[in-house]
């Protein structure tokens, strides 16, 4: 079979975003319902960042039984509570806040990594629920090419993609972007999900790592390095990409409030910049490259001299997730509500931060349902993209 007629390799990219990653589970649940009963894992390449890395590895661990892996992920997110991710009780919150203040302001506490929240419960949950041996088994049985998680190295200032997959995949070295083959473990997930200042950095080998979305200038690139020729991107931004027609250039924007921005409002924009902007920019760049590649004459392309197109399909929230988080803010444990009230995270204007930290069942279930409905709204595109025939359930109903 020639390279031009080779079967496409589909990559799945799950972006970061803390509790927003519940949305991804809804999208995956819809895909599982669209699959025929006998279908295998449709994503040979799976790449995740931050909370998306946890979902990605959860899928990879169960790649031999894809629908079951989706059900397991869904069950976890549907019953989530903040206490399963970080210490949210009064003693835990007060102790961590005291450590953070004494270390950040007075330099006390030595060299131990300090953050606003203690993520030890998440480590215990991952160790209990994930069977990492499933990754090697799926690779050995050719149902998984590779799975990767990205983290940011604080000392070398590099975006490091740790991947586990077939031996034929070579590591890569780009400007501040490297790919490192390894056997994935809980430490890699904790590092990838360590949002700066909120969760403590994690030491792997001789270096500390934090959230993979930090300085990740090309979020789609790892999937392409691992062999993907087309990618499905599940985003967590509630703002869809618009056109110039959506921009009102005839008059300046009108401020909704005369109050200065709160710390939470500023923090929310910083988190959005970290988790969302690079991904959306990378998608836009890839679409432009595809357009340029299409302009290359056919005879030149046949000689392998043109750009190879990479098809991209994006599923993203149709509703603003910060507004959904604001409706569920009272679900946050009392200690956390008090802790976040001062910076303004419990107000509507500061709900951006809340949308990343609200690991509570009500909020997560609404995001799961939104992800399911958004994916089903793109049912025809998903079926075409994955070259699938709809399952009996999908033909009968969209839930």
The residue among 110 and 287 whose pLDDT is bigger is 287
Q: Are 198 and 122 in contact (CB under 8 A)?
A: no
Judged against a pLDDT cut of 50, whether residue 20 lies above it is answered with yes
**97 dihedral zone (left: phi>0; alpha: psi -120 to 50; beta):** alpha
Does residue 226 carry a pLDDT above 90? yes
pLDDT at 287 over 50: yes
The reported pLDDT for the residue numbered 346 is 60
For the record, the structure tokens of 137 come out as: 């088994």
Residue 225: predicted pLDDT: 94
Residue with tokens 């302001």: 105
327-352 pLDDT, tens digit each: 998 898 888 877 777 666 666 666 77
Min mean pLDDT across 109-118, 127-136, 270-279, 310-319 is at: 270-279
Q: How confident is the model at residue 243 (pLDDT cuts 50, 70, 90)?
A: very low
Q: What per-residue confidence (pLDDT) applies to 371?
A: 97
The secondary structure of 161-198 as a DSSP string is EEEEE-TTPPP-EETTEEEEE----HHHHHHHT--TTT
Nearest-angstrom CA–CA distance, 294 and 309:
8
- Per-residue model confidence (pLDDT) at position 197: 83
Q: Which two tokens stand for residue 185?
A: 């473990």
Q: Residue 90, class by beta-carbon neighbours within 10 Å (0-12 exposed, 13-18 middle, 19+ buried)?
A: middle
Structural domains in the chain, CATH included, are 11-241+263-387 (3.40.1090)
Least confident of 197-201, 358-362, 364-368: 197-201
Percent of the chain past pLDDT 70, that is, above it, reads 78
State the pLDDT at residue 129: 95
8 Å CB contact between 245 and 24:
no
DSSP summary character for residue 309: P
First-residue to last-residue Cα distance in the chain:
40
- Confidence band, pLDDT 50/70/90 cuts, at residue 284: confident
Q: What is the pTM of this model?
A: 0.86
Average pLDDT over residues 262-271: 67
Cβ(154)–Cβ(209) under 8 Å? yes
The SS3 of residue 150 is: strand
* Cα distance between residue 276 and residue 22, in whole Å: 16
Q: Do 159 and 84 meet the contact criterion of CB atoms below 8 Å apart?
A: no
- Main-chain phi, psi angles of 212, to 5 degrees: -65, -15
Choice between 67 and 266, residue whose per-residue pLDDT is larger: 67
Higher pLDDT, 270 or 190: 190
Least confident of 11-25, 166-180, 240-254, 307-321: 240-254
pLDDT of residue 347: 67
Beta bridge partners of 149: 48, 162
Report which DSSP code applies to 275.
Answer: I
Active site residues: 50, 211
- For residue 132, the model assigns a pLDDT of 97
3-state helix, strand, coil in the chain (%, to 5): 50, 15, 40
Phi, then psi, of 41 in degrees rounded to 5: -55, 120
What's the confidence (pLDDT) of residue 303? 60
| CA angle centred on 282, ends 380 and 378, rounded to 5° | 10
Better-predicted residue by pLDDT, 259 or 48: 48
Banded model confidence at residue 185, pLDDT cuts 50, 70, 90: very high
Res. 311: pLDDT tops 50:
yes
CA-to-CA distance for 72 and 87, rounded, in angstroms? 24
């Amino acid at each position: 079979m020639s390279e031009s007629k080779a079967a496409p390799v589909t990559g799945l990219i799950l972006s970061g975003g803390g509790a927003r990653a519940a949305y991804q589970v809804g999208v995956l649940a819809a895909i599982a319902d669209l699959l025929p009963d006998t279908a295998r894992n449709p994503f040979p390449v799976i790449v995740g960042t931050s909370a998306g890395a946890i979902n990605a590895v959860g899928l990879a661990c169960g790649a031999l039984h894809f629908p079951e892996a989706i059900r397991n992920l869904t069950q976890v997110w549907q019953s989530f509570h903040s206490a399963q991710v970080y210490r949210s009780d009064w003693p835990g919150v007060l102790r961590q806040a005291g450590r953070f203040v004494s270390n950040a302001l007075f330099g006390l506490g030595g060299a131990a990594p300090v953050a606003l929240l203690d993520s030890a419960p998440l480590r215990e949950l991952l160790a209990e629920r994930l069977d990492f041996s499933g990754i090697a088994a799926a690779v050995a049985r050719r149902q998984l090419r590779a799975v990767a998680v990205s983290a940011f190295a604080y000392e070398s200032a590099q975006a490091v993609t740790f991947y586990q997959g077939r031996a034929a995949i070579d590591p890569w070295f780009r400007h501040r972007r490297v790919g490192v083959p390894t056997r994935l473990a809980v430490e890699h997930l904790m590092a990838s999900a360590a949002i700066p200042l909120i969760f403590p950095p994690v030491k792997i080998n001789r270096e500390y790592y934090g959230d993979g979305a930090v300085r990740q200038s090309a979020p789609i690139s790892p999937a392409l390095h691992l062999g993907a020729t087309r990618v499905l991107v599940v985003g967590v931004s509630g703002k869809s990409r618009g056109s110039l027609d959506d921009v009102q250039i005839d008059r300046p924007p009108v401020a909704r409030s005369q109050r200065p921005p709160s710390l939470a409002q500023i923090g929310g924009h910083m988190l959005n910049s970290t988790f969302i902007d690079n991904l959306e920019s990378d998608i836009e760049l890839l679409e432009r490259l595809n357009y340029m590649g299409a302009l290359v004459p056919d005879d030149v392309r046949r000689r392998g001299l043109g750009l190879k197109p990479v098809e991209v399909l994006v599923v993203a929230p149709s509703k603003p997730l910060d507004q959904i988080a604001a409706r569920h803010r009272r679900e946050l444990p009392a200690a956390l509500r008090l802790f976040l009230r001062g910076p303004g995270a419990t107000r509507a204007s500061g709900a951006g931060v809340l949308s990343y930290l609200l690991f509570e069942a009500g909020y997560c279930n609404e995001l799961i349902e939104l992800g399911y409905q958004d994916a089903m709204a793109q049912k025809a595109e998903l079926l075409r993209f994955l070259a699938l025939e709809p399952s009996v359930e999908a033909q009968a109903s969209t839930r």
